[in-house]
Structure 1
Amino acid sequence: MKKGFATVAQLSEFDEIIDARSPSEFADDRIPGAISCPVLDDEQRAIVGTIYKQRSAFEARRVGGAMVAENIARHLSERFHDKPKEWRPLVYCWRGGQRSGAFVTWLRMVGWDACQLEGGYKNWRREVVAEMAELPGRFSFRVVCGPTGSAKTRVIEALASLGAQTLDLEDLAAHKGSVLGALPDRAQPTQKWFETSLYIRLKALDPGRPVFVEAESRKIGRIHVPEALIMRIREGDCVLIDADREARLDFLVRDYAYLGADPAELCARLEHLSKLQSRETLDRWKALAHAGELHALYGELIELHYDPLYKRSQNRNFARIEAAQVFSADSLDDAGIAKLAQRMASAT
């Protein structure tokens, strides 16, 4: 490796990882733990790109060079003015080219042992994609199944608190997975950032121990679960929550209570079912939403949407569902969920 360069395998050797790309590139995906210090912001990058296409590469570099110098100078004075001589940063841009190269040149002129990531972000992304095709095969999954309202995600969380290994896909995707599943306080990540977060989570797990994961479809909201992972999960041993209807309904009313405060948003989400339910049914459900009758609304959703969908999908998608170990529950309050998790953990 050339002096002043480092590989993805050497990331842990540095005190700081600096992302020199634009803010929009950083928001789309980044190396975990990196800080955003763009040498060109999004508007500047567009200006330089236009000059490159319409005039010449020299003009683009002349205009862009001044912007880069100004931005790097600002980062040095605002972000790194108190770093000691021993501080060792790693800088990356899209493919390890001029943006990170300019930044590293300035840092090294100051006297820091700064390095540039060989191949830039592209090499990092290449590793994530390659690893996500192979990593899932190392694990033995215990798939927590059950119809909507069975508190599967809460059971996963309770299992984690007991020390069991878990993979909470809905937390990583910031979505509950159902038509009503968008969270009120968290936007979904980009697809690339979801995959990066998933990669980091899997790398932290022990392949010698089982991993509890919720039975999911290929999509969680607008996020796609990587093919190798979804196929491996569908091959896993299943554990089935068998909760009675009233327990599930009570749980749904509690878990989606925030939707009751915004009937218009609830109705907008129900409209996504227009291809699956009649207009008469949807109008009735919207009337219940506006009246605050969540118990009645969720009861009909269980009977007419969620349960029929569950019966079709589980038997088709999970090879070992018929041999699932069944855990009954007559309550899905906090105490009932804790008991379910304890029984599952003890049975593994």
Structure 2
Amino acid sequence: MPSDAPDPLMVHFHPDQNGVEEVDLDDLAAHCRIIDVRSPGEFEQDHIPGSSNVPLLGDAERAVVGTLYRVKGKESATQWALHKLQSRSDDFLAALRSQIGCEEQPVICCARGGDRSRNVVQFLNQQGVSAKRLTGGYRSYRKTVIGRLEQIQLDGLWVLDGLTGAGKTAVLQSLACKYPGRVLDLEEYAGHRSSILGDVGKLPKTQKQFESLLAAALDALDDNSPWILIEGESRKVGNRQIPKSLWDMMQTAPRIELVRDLDSRARLLVEEYRTEEGWGPVIERLEALRAYDPLGSEGVDAVQSLLRCEQPVDAAKILLQKHYDPRYLHGSEQRTYSFRISETSTDEAVQQLLQALDS
């Protein structure tokens, strides 16, 4: 059990039970910067987009506080955490100042808008830094996200379909750059390409992170846009589940199919999945297809052998024909398309798409 006795060398900080100035998330001014003081592990699970993590406690220290709370009570846990803040006050203050501009005001966020953020705001104010507490903390934000995703309403939604390697993601990204607020990129929010190899070279997001990024993207949509474009997906993008309200809209929205020949799709697949570690991560992940996939054990051996021999385009063709294409074609049997786009480059596809959507 850690000692909760004060260190005589600690910087003096005198918290009190007085309230601190608060601000709601919806009322944040442009000069406000959210500083999340939760532990790195909490922050990694999910956080308010655009916020910065300046942890009051590390993950192991947070576990200690939890133990103290259970064994000795709230007061002991609070005092131990405060002693930690005091013992590293200079470093904490320097880390926080590095995250805010000269004209920005820190808004402190903790889990529930409780003691952690109140004590930090008081500490900052005593150090001459004007700060506010985010009302309700992360929990309040999370409730807002859940409510937002339960009531999605999108006018002019279109779904972009196409075989793997057709270039759907590149088209979406190009459109998003040219027309901000008109594209929803679910794979970007999930950090996953929605396939057995989908996380190779990626940093997959948690379900909560996925939902936070999606909610932020929904709020950033252009209300005056005549159309919104989203890539066709299964109900899950990797292991991240699409909210039911959005999924239901995707099932009834008009659809566009992007068509590309096999050679072009294979080359695009090679570009997308090549990693700094070479083909090792792909070769390893292919093992999961041996037992249950139409590719089968012999197909996996063939693809792995081609990759080891630096023939990735031929390997990609086998993967497309034996694994990806059958899955897509099975799911597309009942779909109808408002129009199809055949192209040889992303720019050509974007131009055809804009002509169709704006007509």
Q: Name the CA shift for 1:346/1:338 in 2 (closer, same or farther; >3 Å).
A: same
The answer as to whether partners of 2:157 and 2:228 remain within 8 angstroms in 1 is yes
Query: Which residue of structure 1 aligns with residue 233 of structure 2?
Result: 216
Once the two structures are TM-superposed, the CA of residue 39 in structure 1 deviates from its matched residue by 2.0
- Letter paired with 1:265: P
Q: Does 1:150 align with 2:159?
A: no
* 1:281-292 to 2 correspondences below 5 Å: 281-292=299-310
Unmatched 5+ stretches in structure 2 = 1-18
Query: Which residue of structure 1 aligns with residue 350 of structure 2?
Result: 341
CA distance in 1, matches of 2:100, 2:278: 48
Q: Does 1:114 align with 2:131?
A: yes
Q: Does 1:265 align with 2:281?
A: yes
CA distance in 2, matches of 1:242, 1:83: 47
* 1:163-202 to 2 correspondences below 5 Å: 163=179, 165-184=182-201, 186-202=202-218
Deviates more, 1:169-178 or 1:97-106: 169-178
Give the TM-score taking structure 1 as reference length. Answer: 0.86
Q: 1:328 aligns with which of 333, 342, 352?
A: 342
Once the two structures are TM-superposed, the CA of residue 239 in structure 1 deviates from its matched residue by 1.0
The answer as to whether partners of 1:138 and 1:207 remain within 8 angstroms in 2 is no
CA distance in 1, matches of 2:55, 2:79: 18
CA distance in 2, matches of 1:246, 1:78: 51
Deviates more, 1:204-213 or 1:283-292: 283-292
Query: Which residue of structure 2 aligns with residue 61 of structure 1?
Result: 78
RMSD, aligned CA: 2.7
Q: Does 1:129 align with 2:146?
A: yes
The answer as to whether partners of 2:33 and 2:100 remain within 8 angstroms in 1 is no
Query: Which residue of structure 2 aligns with residue 231 of structure 1?
Result: 248
Once the two structures are TM-superposed, the CA of residue 230 in structure 1 deviates from its matched residue by 2.3
Percent of residue pairs bearing the same amino acid type: 30
The answer as to whether partners of 1:180 and 1:266 remain within 8 angstroms in 2 is yes
What are the Cα deviations for residues 181-240 of structure 1, in whole angstroms up to 9, with x where unaligned? 2242x4122222222111111111123321111111222223322222222222211111
> Whose helix fraction is larger, Structure 1's or Structure 2's?
1
Once the two structures are TM-superposed, the CA of residue 64 in structure 1 deviates from its matched residue by 2.6
CA distance in 1, matches of 2:101, 2:322: 64
What are the Cα deviations for residues 108-127 of structure 1, in whole angstroms up to 9, with x where unaligned? 33455432222111001100
- Letter paired with 1:325: F
- Letter paired with 1:341: V
SS in 2 for 1:327: strand
- Letter paired with 2:320: I
CA distance in 1, matches of 2:105, 2:313: 58
CA distance in 1, matches of 2:242, 2:89: 38
Once the two structures are TM-superposed, the CA of residue 325 in structure 1 deviates from its matched residue by 0.4
Once the two structures are TM-superposed, the CA of residue 171 in structure 1 deviates from its matched residue by 2.1
Once the two structures are TM-superposed, the CA of residue 78 in structure 1 deviates from its matched residue by 5.0
What are the Cα deviations for residues 82-112 of structure 1, in whole angstroms up to 9, with x where unaligned? 9899864321211111101111122233455
Q: Does 1:203 align with 2:219?
A: yes
CA distance in 2, matches of 1:33, 1:250: 35
CA distance in 1, matches of 2:123, 2:32: 17
Once the two structures are TM-superposed, the CA of residue 38 in structure 1 deviates from its matched residue by 2.0
- Letter paired with 1:294: P
Deviates more, 1:40-49 or 1:57-66: 57-66
What are the Cα deviations for residues 31-87 of structure 1, in whole angstroms up to 9, with x where unaligned? 222222222221211112212223343433332331133344532355349989986
- Letter paired with 2:353: M
SS in 2 for 1:12: coil
- The number of residues matched between the two structures is 335
Q: Name the CA shift for 1:29/1:312 in 2 (closer, same or farther; >3 Å).
A: same
Query: Which residue of structure 1 aligns with residue 9 of structure 2?
Result: none
Q: 1:25 aligns with which of 20, 29, 42?
A: 42
Unmatched 5+ stretches in structure 1 = none
The answer as to whether partners of 1:177 and 1:220 remain within 8 angstroms in 2 is yes
